[in-house]
Amino acid sequence: MAGPLCFPRAQAPAPESRSVWDGVYTEEQAKRGELIYKKECGACHGNLLTGGESAPPLTGGAFLANWNGLTMGDLFDRIRKTMPESAPGRLTRQQDADILAFMLSINRFPAGKTELYKQSEMLKEIRFESAKPSPKK
Amino acid sequence: MREKNSTGLQALLFLLFAGLLFLSIPASAQFHPKNTEWPSYAADLAGTRYRALDQINAANFSDLEIAWRIKTDNFGDRPEYKLEGTPLMVNGTLYATAGSRRAVIALDPATGELLWIHGEHEGKRGGAAPRQLSGRGLAYWSDGQEERVLYVTPGFRLICLDAKTGVRIPSFGNNGEVDLKLNDDQDILPDLITGEIGIQSAPVVAKDTVIIGAAFREGMTPRSMRNNKGYVRGFDVRTGKRLWIFHTIPKKGEFGYDTWEKGSAEYTGNTGVWTQITVDEQLGLVYLPVETPTSDFYGGHRPGNNLFGESLVCVDLKTGERKWHFQLVHHPLWDMDISSAPILADITVDGRPIKAVAQPTKQGFLYVFDRVTGKPVWPMPERPVEVGNVPGETYSATQPIPTKPQAYSRNGVFIDDLIDFTPALRDRAKEIASKYHLGPVYTPPTASKLDGTLGTLTMGTASGGTNWPGGSYDPETHNVYVYACNSCIEPIGLVAAPKEVSDIAYIAGTAGREVEILKGPGENAGADSPKPPKKPAGGGFSRMDVDGLMLVKPPYGTITAINLDKGEFVWQIAHGETPDVVRNHPDLKGLNIPRTGQTTYNIGTLVTKTLVIAGEGNVTTTADHPRGAMLRAYDKMTGKEVGAVYMPAPQTGSPMTYMLNGKQYIVVAVSGGPYSGEYIAYTLPSAGE
């Protein structure tokens, strides 16, 4: 009876998925991203990401609510497809990832030791959660 | 240099569907659309967003189902995620702007079937446009025989189309187009391709005159105090000929020129009318809501009151001559553009009939004037306001403050406004706020300092209050219904602008995060290069929330019904589901928090015979619905919610309604986040379903 129900002992536990609260970018990357952001994005979205009439805020209630529950891959793809508005796709994947790192830093998500990925598929494994999760017990 | 353009997208489908479109139109000198149609952006030229329809009502709103939907992804070379249009429905056809090319589409209003499409390929001129994407809509005109639709391309060309076919009207302008960068009493600099000027609002047509304003890039950190100016023009709808122009920054010798000291009228720009224009055809008067002059938050290069910046200006429909004006904000420093359509209302105050115009604003005041004379219906005395100390700035010591109605949204930030769900959260909010200067409306921006305040916490400046969707007006109850963001906080600090960045002395910024110039690879990085000055640590910017919770107390967004006969609130409600972050926040477990509404600044309302209808601007996931947003209906007399239907993404364009073949429809634009633009039409199930 027991045989078919047993799991192989050697099987590794599935790695836990990560969220933006798990240090998914570095401070250095965010600094690079800030320079690019100010040149490419700030005129419309504001240097503090607070938006304007023609460009939505990239921080605060509406931004956090509308991306909550999605992934960094979704956000990355959106930037890749549509920004900068005058020439979408002009920036490299690395530049877009750096900008995203800056956005995370302004939104006070913690920095970590590894840089944010620049591949959509990998970024889709990072959940965007607006609220800080409760400490694990 | 003229730019090559083509109409490559247009009209193939027309050949297939033209037969459906040649509907009989009664021949008459003047065309009068039915009151069950939606013939202009705001339903009518009075800016009411009102239709007295009642098939969709409190008893059945939640039964609404999708009649048709159309994604706008293919109306341009890339998808659009910010669809802000409100379609028109007139004479059996629905018209809208759509997609990243700002194409014009004609649809069957019962089925959503595409009848024709028109697009303009503008090349670099389109790519350089300050206001891109699909815009907010178009205008319809008919003399009872001919039907035309008009819109402005991202590259700032007025295009006139045959409403039946989508083909340009050759006799209008230059083969169906008027280049709006020309014949504007100024040279658009630096050239016609990249010269900064455009518009995203819908044109207005009144008595055969098309009226067009102008918009520019965001003005927080402009490169120069000099810019193109946003004049308003009227054109003949039959020929495209310019009929008049109104100089929103007066030319030398014109009224108001002396409100620009030190010759600043000569070089200051912007001051356009980028939002919807309202017209009283009977009185022959046009109401122009004017934006701020160049540099949103610093006016040291334009001393004086700066007419007609942030003024409501009434001009003659035939000549464009100024009849009256009222400057809402003297020497503007807060980006309080008048951001939405003025609303015309025939009201009775203390037994006296008044033809009024009511202006919703970012600052949450509803300014109400006699629209013939410009006299305030209720007093708006000049009150002292704080004078700041940013070097070189000149301040107005007073601003006009309406005594009635009371402000319908927060327009300043005080400690008492900070969240108080729990003492711990409040303490953290106070800590964030302690880095900023607080105060009532018209508290001026401060120079950002690490050892002082980082800036002024403002509400109702760049966002907040009512923005471009504006309000609605019900001629039955004499109520204005208006959405306001009650939590859109904007920290405004100023930093000295490096000369390489701007010739303006101060631009928006935060100490510790000064505007920097990108350096080339290796520049200043070798041995013996001068070391960069050390920056103080810890400067910069504080997120305006605590663990995702807004810094200020709810309600985060409201709809207010304001009776214009009395100048008083009838009701005020929080609009929108409580955000997930509040409902699911571990620190708030066990607390009974009433619906908070949502933080967003672009919600438009629709008013019908019995309902006020508006969608949500934020996504939520609740026990009642999957990830998405709701289109909600309220009893217009009480504000009580009477129904809601699901939308897959937030409302980003204001809803409209019409009747066709005995059925009422509601159409709304949704988009945002990863959801590309889509128009969705709702209607009731057919009998028997």
Q: Do A65 and B598 touch (CB under 8 A)?
A: yes
Q: What is the pLDDT of residue A105?
A: 93
User: Helix axis angle, A93-106 relative to A27-40, nearest 10°?
Assistant: 100
Q: What is the pLDDT of residue A89?
A: 85
Write out the DSSP string of B479-542.
EEEEEEES--EEEEEEEEPPTTT-SSSEEE--TTS---PPPPTTTT-STTPPPPPPPPTT-S--
CB proximity A27 to B under 8 Å: no
Q: What is the pLDDT of residue B41?
A: 98
Per the CB < 8 A criterion, the answer to whether B72 and B677 are in contact is: yes
CB proximity B585 to A under 8 Å: yes
Q: Do B650 and A66 touch (CB under 8 A)?
A: yes
Angle formed at CA B337 by CA B332 and CA B340, multiple of 5 degrees: 155
User: CA B550 to CA A119: how far, in whole Å?
Assistant: 32
Give the pLDDT band of residue B333 (cuts 50, 70, 90).
very high
Chain B interface, best mutation among A32, A58, A59, A66, by max B CB count within 10 A: A66
Partner residues linked to B545 by β-bridges: B550
Checking if the pLDDT of B543 tops 80, the result is no
Q: Tell me which residue has tokens 């008048």.
A: B338
Where in B31-87 does DSSP place strands (E)? Answer: 65-71
Q: Tell me which residue has tokens 């793809």.
A: A77
Instruction: Give percent of chain B above pLDDT 90.
Output: 83
Q: What is the pLDDT of residue B250?
A: 98
Interface of A with B in 47-76 (CB under 8 A): 47-48, 50-57, 59-62, 64-70, 74-75
Q: Tell me which residue has tokens 């965007």.
A: A128
User: CA B564 to CA B473: how far, in whole Å?
Assistant: 10
Per the CB < 8 A criterion, the answer to whether B296 and B508 are in contact is: yes
Minimum distance, in Å, between the CA of residue B288 and any CA atom of chain A = 18
Residue B471 burial (C-beta neighbours within 10 Å; 0-12, 13-18, 19+):
buried
Q: b or e along B318-343 (b: 16 or more beta carbons within 10 Å of the residue's beta carbon)?
A: eebebbbbbbbbbbbbbbbbbbbbbb
Contacts of B550 in chain A (CB under 8 A): 60-61
Give the pLDDT band of residue B610 (cuts 50, 70, 90).
very high
User: CA A117 to CA A111: how far, in whole Å?
Assistant: 13
Q: What is the pLDDT of residue B259?
A: 98
Q: Which pLDDT tens digit goes with each residue over A7-52?
A: 444 445 445 679 999 999 999 999 999 999 988 998 888 877 888 7
Among B5, B33, B46, CA closest to B147:
B33
User: CA A6 to CA B405: how far, in whole Å?
Assistant: 73
CB proximity B337 to A under 8 Å: yes
Among A61, A108, A132, beta carbon nearest to B556: A61
Instruction: Give percent of chain A above pLDDT 70.
Output: 86
Give the pLDDT band of residue B149 (cuts 50, 70, 90).
very high
Q: Which pLDDT tens digit goes with each residue over A111-125?
A: 999 999 999 999 999
- DSSP three-state, residue B615: strand
Asked which of B6-15, B107-116, B349-358, B465-474 is least confident by mean pLDDT, the reply is: B6-15
Checking if the pLDDT of B15 tops 50, the result is no
Among A43, A82, A134, beta carbon nearest to B218: A43
CB proximity B489 to A under 8 Å: yes
Q: Which pLDDT tens digit goes with each residue over B70-89?
A: 999 999 999 999 999 999 99
Checking if the pLDDT of B572 tops 50, the result is yes
Minimum distance, in Å, between the CA of residue B247 and any CA atom of chain A = 23
Contacts of A35 in chain B (CB under 8 A): 516, 518
Asked which of B116-120, B512-516, B528-532 is least confident by mean pLDDT, the reply is: B528-532
Per the CB < 8 A criterion, the answer to whether B223 and A38 are in contact is: no
For the stretch B180-184, contacts whose Cβ atoms lie closer than 8 Å and that sit 24 or more positions apart, written own/partner, are: B180/B152, B180/B156, B180/B212, B180/B214, B180/B233, B181/B156, B181/B157, B183/B242, B184/B231, B184/B233, B184/B245
Which has more pLDDT, B384 or B7?
Answer: B384
Among B339, B581, B586, beta carbon nearest to A65: B581
Minimum distance, in Å, between the CA of residue A11 and any CA atom of chain B = 34
In chain B, where the domains are located: 1-26+89-227, 40-84+602-689
Checking if the pLDDT of B523 tops 70, the result is no
Interface of B with A in 613-672 (CB under 8 A): 617-621, 627, 650, 672
The answer to ipTM > 0.90 is no
Checking if the pLDDT of B232 tops 60, the result is yes
Instruction: Please name the residues in contact with B88: beta carbons below 8 A apart, sequence gap of 6 or more.
Output: B38, B39, B40, B41, B94, B95, B96, B137, B138, B139, B140, B149, B656
Q: Do A65 and B218 touch (CB under 8 A)?
A: no
Give the pLDDT band of residue B516 (cuts 50, 70, 90).
very low
This prediction has a pTM of 0.90
- DSSP three-state, residue B433: helix
- DSSP three-state, residue B299: coil
Average pLDDT over residues B85-104: 97
DSSP B262: G
CB proximity B548 to A under 8 Å: yes
Among B36, B111, B42, CA closest to B653:
B42
User: CA A75 to CA A72: how far, in whole Å?
Assistant: 5
Residue B546 region by backbone torsions, left for phi larger than 0, else alpha for psi between -120 and 50, else beta:
beta
Checking if the pLDDT of A93 tops 80, the result is yes
Average pLDDT over residues B528-554: 66
Instruction: Give percent of chain B above pLDDT 70.
Output: 91
User: CA B506 to CA B8: how far, in whole Å?
Assistant: 45
Q: What is the pLDDT of residue B522?
A: 40
CATH second-level architecture of A28-127? Orthogonal Bundle (1.10)
Q: Do A46 and B491 touch (CB under 8 A)?
A: no
Q: What is the pLDDT of residue A50?
A: 82
Give the pLDDT band of residue B181 (cuts 50, 70, 90).
very high
Angle formed at CA B148 by CA B215 and CA B274, multiple of 5 degrees: 10
Q: Establish whether the linkage from the previous residue to B190 is cis, with ω within 30° of 0.
A: yes
Q: Where are the alpha helices (DSSP H) in B576-656?
A: 580-583
Checking if the pLDDT of B536 tops 60, the result is no
Q: Do A56 and B82 touch (CB under 8 A)?
A: yes
Q: What is the pLDDT of residue B555?
A: 98
Residue B311, φ and ψ in degrees, nearest 5: -120, 150
Q: What is the pLDDT of residue B669?
A: 98
Residue B76 region by backbone torsions, left for phi larger than 0, else alpha for psi between -120 and 50, else beta:
left
Average pLDDT over residues B291-296: 95
Q: Do B673 and A70 touch (CB under 8 A)?
A: yes
Give the pLDDT band of residue B455 (cuts 50, 70, 90).
very high
Q: Do A50 and B673 touch (CB under 8 A)?
A: no
Interface of B with A in 50-79 (CB under 8 A): 78-79
Mean pLDDT for all residues in chain B: 91
Q: b or e along B562-592 (b: 16 or more beta carbons within 10 Å of the residue's beta carbon)?
A: bbbbebeebbbbbbbbbbbbbebbebbeeee
Q: Which pLDDT tens digit goes with each residue over B268-287?
A: 999 999 999 999 999 999 99
Per the CB < 8 A criterion, the answer to whether B64 and B115 are in contact is: no
Q: Which pair of structure tokens corresponds to residue B105?
A: 């589409």
- DSSP three-state, residue B92: coil
Give the pLDDT band of residue B195 (cuts 50, 70, 90).
very high
DSSP B555: P
Give the pLDDT band of residue B482 (cuts 50, 70, 90).
very high
3-state secondary structure A117-132: CCCHHHHCCEECCCCC
CB proximity A17 to B under 8 Å: no
Q: What share of chain A is helix, strand, coil (3-state, %, to 5)?
A: 45, 5, 50
Per the CB < 8 A criterion, the answer to whether B85 and B137 are in contact is: yes
Q: What is the pLDDT of residue B28?
A: 40
